[in-house]
Amino acid sequence: AERSPPPLPLPPTSRAPHNASVPLLCWHWDGSLVARGLLSARFSLPATSFLILPSRRWIGILVLYAVHKGQFNCPGGGLLHSYLLVLLVLLAAIICALSALVYVSMQGTISNPGPRKSLPKLLYTRLLLYFPEFIWAIVGAVWVSDSSVHCEKTVINAILGTVIASWVIIIFTIIGVLIVFDPLGGKKTFYLTDGVHRNLESSQSGQLLFNVKNTATRVWEKRIRLMCCCIVQDDDHRVAFTSIAELFRNYFSDTDLVPSDIAAGLILLHQEQDKMESCPKEPEEVLCHSPSSLVTDGLDFELENAAHYMLFAAAAYGWPYYVYTNPFTALCKLNGDCCGSRPTDSDITGSDRHNFHFGSILKITGLQYRDFIHISFHNKIYEIPFFVALDHKKEAIVVAVRGTLSFEDILTDLSADCEDLTLEDVLENGFVHKGITQAANYIYQKLINDGILNQAFTIAPEYKLVIVGHSLGGGTASILAIMLRNSFPTLKCYAFSPPGGLLSKTLADYTKHFIVSVILGKDLVARLSMPNMEDLKRRIVRIVANCNRPKYQILLRGCWYEVFGGDPDNFPTELDGRNQDALTQPLLAEESLMVHRSPSYNALDGESHLHSPPQYPHLYLPGKIIHIVEECSSKRLCSSDIKYTASWSNETVFSSILISPKMITDHMPDVVLNALNSLSQEHGSCISCLSGLVSAVISSNVDG
């Protein structure tokens, strides 16, 4: 079926996306601007959410008008009366336009916009209504501030609140447009695949491609700068902005999906995944945690250590973690204990107003002031907080690195380019995550150049070195352990929920001797890497493009399934009835949602060229991996009485992103700590039971 009028001429190697036609700027109602003519308008539920706000606003103004109807007989009251009446009419027109948008956008399917062909006219109508709305907001501000108006205070305050609400909505709308506005328009369809080699200097289409890519990078840079406007920006920030902008440009340039498409795709993938979970796994995928292996594999020993050191990793978050886990008592305890002067025994750098951070670390770890060698709360891009403390229980010098907690940390996470990490006398050409490596190098310089570790080992020379961290802190701790391995051969590292795209295969294998990674359930971060994200994008495109149900049905039923459970829906798709050979070929709808294949996308299919390696190669989790999974619990978020099992796993288990309501909560440090404590307590109770059983057997034998 025809999706749109004949497209504009494209270079021979390009393919028009499914909605490329007249090059006009149109606004997708779920938050993205695209330069396409005929909108496929895949935004039924987001449009509904935008309809709720003006409807509630209209009802509120109507109630306000009815309550104060007889109080406008005052000097200037006619102006206020006229303002409310016109605003009611204007909002009614906006509600009608949005209602029509919602109705039309519910027609058809994601990949079949034919029934929605009248949507652009309705969208332009709504956009035109912004002009009288803006003008009337100015008029209202002038009239309500006019000194000639002498009405009751309650009436003026009510009208003033209405005017302020109008301006807040307008300002947020402008900010949203600035963030999502895409000046590229249909030019993004000129992107070429990596398989085509052209001379950018001499080819007109190649020069256009070069310009479009630069423009796309600048667009993403502008968006990132706007979202990070609250932080001080220096040269490191500018370099990071460019790097992250290129990452987003590479990832989003080859698809024609909007946020609600992605939401629908995630819902469909989750239900499809739940259907497949009952299938038996390959025996070599996971090494079973069987009773016969308890002694030889050291799993219980590592779990007990992990539960202990996870406290330090969680404590590195400071007062936010302590308040989050003790919402009713934390502030009172911190106010009572932490308002004194800073201890002089510890070397503390960075801002810690009222000693809240340090006080929280003390309470979480149970250590004393004198046990801390160095604490850094300094936080910039590539420079993350950490502390060094003496753990007398385990006789260890612990370096704990904080995870993501600020905009600067997010920029460090997203600086996902690869760089070489060459280790003398160990191996060469190991690839690592650039941003996390720079953070590890910052801490390395502090520990070695500032003599922090020398000071620690002077106090406790017989202690061993242990490096721990959660999330970003886990990735940083892993690379820091690699850097310190030659100087401290007996060091140990525990990385809790580290990012998946961290180390190349050679480095990951090398770290199995001294790093233990702990992953809980379907943790998203532990599976995050550019190849995995490309694979997820391909899966979303495939399942969304070939589903024959309207998107609003997918989203509504999906929300019900996620909240209340039940059986996964059996949505009919174009995949039904096709033979196995046909399933390997992309369908028309799937092809229409892909503008071109990105380098990483090609790499997944084994199509990368020998002399053109992908920009984002496969990176893996560090060290040996302990995978903790739930046992005998509900799949819903509100489930209780959760039991866990743990097993040694390998990196291939985390080569695909799993969709689940718990993919975020399984990453949270308090959830990881609770799971480890549960396993540790269970192991302790089992040891007690075995001891009691052995004693009973010995006693019975003696009596016999």
529, 657 Cβ separation under 8 angstroms: no
| Dist CA 338 CA 358 (whole Å) | 8
Helix (H) or strand (E) holding 597: none
* Residue listed under structure tokens 């020379």: 461
Tokens at 454, concatenated: 């020398």
Q: How far is CA 474 from CA 77, 466, 469, 499, 648, in A?
A: 64, 12, 4, 8, 18
| Dist CA 471 CA 477 (whole Å) | 10
Q: Indicate the DSSP class of residue 76.
A: T
Q: How far is CA 323 from CA 231, 341, 664, in A?
A: 24, 21, 20
Q: Any long-range contacts for 299-302 (C-beta under 8 Å, 24+ apart)?
A: 299/626, 299/646, 299/647, 299/648, 300/683, 302/516, 302/626
474, 498 Cβ separation under 8 angstroms: yes
191, 595 Cβ separation under 8 angstroms: yes
Q: How far is CA 562 from CA 218, 330, 636, 659, in A?
A: 38, 32, 7, 11
413, 404 Cβ separation under 8 angstroms: yes
Give, in degrees to the nearest 5, the angle at Cα 65 between 61 and 70: 165
| Dist CA 315 CA 360 (whole Å) | 7
Helix (H, G, I), strand (E, B) or coil at 418: strand
| Dist CA 128 CA 66 (whole Å) | 29
Helix (H, G, I), strand (E, B) or coil at 631: strand
Give the residue numbers marked as catalytic.
Answer: 471, 523
Q: Indicate the DSSP class of residue 6.
A: P
Q: Amino acid identity, residue 457?
A: F
Compute and round to an integer the Cα radius of gyration of the chain: 30
Q: Amino acid identity, residue 280?
A: P
Q: How far is CA 82 from CA 25, 72, 77, 111, 153, in A?
A: 35, 10, 9, 46, 18
Sorted by sequence, the CB contacts under 8 Å of residue 611 that are 6+ apart come out as none
Q: How many C-beta atoms lie closer than 10 Å to residue 457's C-beta?
A: 15
Of the candidates 443, 411, 622, 392, the one whose C-alpha atom is nearest the C-alpha of residue 526 is 622
Q: Are strands 386-391 and 396-401 parallel, antiparallel or unpaired?
A: antiparallel
> Is residue 347 packed enough to be buried (19+ CB in 10 Å), middle (13-18) or exposed (0-12)?
middle
